[in-house]
Amino acid sequence: MLDEDGESLSRSRPVPTASTAEGVARVAALLRGGRLNVALTGAGASTESGLPDFRSKDGLWGGTDPTRVASVSAFQQDPAAFYAFYQTRLAALAGAAPNAAHRALARLESVGVLHLVVTQNVDGLHLRAGSREVVEVHGNLREARCAGCGALVSIVEMAGPLRAGALPQCGRCGGLLRPNVVLFGEVLPAAAYARAEAACRQCDVLLVVGSSLQVHPVAGLPALAVRHGAKLAIVNCDPTPCDELAEVVVRGEAGTVLPRIVEAVEGPRNETP
């Protein structure tokens, strides 16, 4: 693996996959030893809330070309397909609640060992679970944005007209409303990504949860953190391209592993990283 300057960050040792018990203890010890700890979460943090991920066989992109339903060109050229896709996502989100993984991250923040959550998710479940310091680098589905004047409004102002069979229009300029998320073909919100990148440059521990680490530029944040001296820990069901950079990799569902990390953090403090 190469860092942002093209230098090799690969390690000669094998991927440090640990048993769940060992991995939980090691992650807890790392968090307790860090002065600034950051979590980076992906779709796998929300699957246990009933929200599909993107790349699994049952994911959002299973049998669907995302550029045809979730891109700038789809919004401009085929709004019917675009809005149908987001109506489905909003309907799924309406029935979703924070799961044990979200609650565990909020608890880690409340006890002072987690200081920021950077999330690729747009579902808002980290905030609903009680996390206060959250950077949503791909936007959110709480808001809609006017494609004309850029005004931000509640997502209900987009969803309501769609349910009635009408195109959602901005009350200010008449432009079309769209979800306030990053579409294919768009860059990430500059301020949000700058905060995430700065945190990864400064953190002592980066805990990656439920991310395939395949979507750039966010996928480059773990290597950036390691290059600047951070310890990397990964909790994910499947291998990621950054596993070889990690101090510890724990295979498992986020909603199972993270509560155990909370228990270890709050328990006896005699482990060492």
pLDDT digit string (tens) for 162-182?
999 999 999 999 999 999 999
CATH number at residue 202: 3.40.50.1220
Does residue 270 sit in the same domain as residue 156? no
| Domain co-membership, 32 together with 145 | no
CA 155 – CA 87 distance, rounded (Å): 11
Residues 148 and 251 in one domain: no
Q: Is the pLDDT of residue 271 over 60?
A: no
Q: Is the pLDDT of residue 272 over 50?
A: no
Given 102, 126, 138, 216, which residue is catalytic? 138
Separation CA 240–CA 226 (nearest Å): 15
Contact status, residue 236 vs residue 18, Cβ threshold 8 Å: no
Please indicate, yes or no, whether residues 60 and 123 belong to a single structural domain of this protein. Answer: no
Indicate whether 57 pLDDT > 60.
no
Contacts of 190 (CB under 8 A, 6+ apart): none
Give me the mean pLDDT over the 45-70 stretch.
Answer: 75
150 and 128, same domain (yes or no): no
Instruction: Based on the residue annotation, tell me whether 138 is a catalytic residue of this protein.
Output: yes
In a shared domain, residues 22 and 63:
no
pLDDT score at 2: 44
Asked if 255 and 120 sit in the same domain, the reply is yes
Task: Provide the β-strand partners of residue 208.
Answer: 40, 234
Bond before 16 cis per omega within 30 degrees: no
| Percent of all residues in the chain with a pLDDT value above 70, rounded to a whole number | 88
Task: Identify the CATH number of the domain in which residue 57 sits.
Answer: 3.30.1600.10
CA geometry: angle at 190 spanning 213 and 185, to 5°?
65
Q: Which two tokens stand for residue 166?
A: 């009408």
pLDDT band at residue 8 under the 50/70/90 scheme: very low
Q: How does 73-95 read in b/e, with b if 16+ C-beta sit within 10 Å?
A: ebbeeeeeebbebbeebbeebee
For residue 19, pLDDT beyond 90? no
* pLDDT at residue 6 in the model: 44
- Give this prediction's pTM: 0.90
pLDDT value, residue 4: 47
Q: Tell me the pairing of strands 139-146 and 152-154.
A: antiparallel
* Residues 253, 172 share a domain: no
Regarding whether 115 and 238 lie in a shared domain, the answer is yes
Q: Which of 181, 212, 246 is the last residue of a domain?
A: 181
Give the whole-angstrom CA distance, residue 227 versus residue 245. 10
How far apart, in whole angstroms, are the C-alpha atoms of residue 262 and residue 108?
A: 6
Q: How many domains does the chain have?
A: 2
Does residue 243 share a domain with residue 152? no
81 and 173: one domain?
yes
The Cα–Cα gap between 84 and 232 comes to 39
Confidence of residue 62 (pLDDT cuts 50, 70, 90): low
Domain that residue 209 falls in = 1-51+98-138+188-273
Residue count of the chain, please give it: 273
Q: Are residues 88 and 153 in the same domain?
A: yes
The single-letter DSSP state of residue 71 is B
Which pLDDT band holds residue 56 (cuts at 50, 70, 90)?
low
pLDDT in tens, 213-262: 999 999 999 999 999 999 999 999 999 999 999 999 999 999 999 999 99
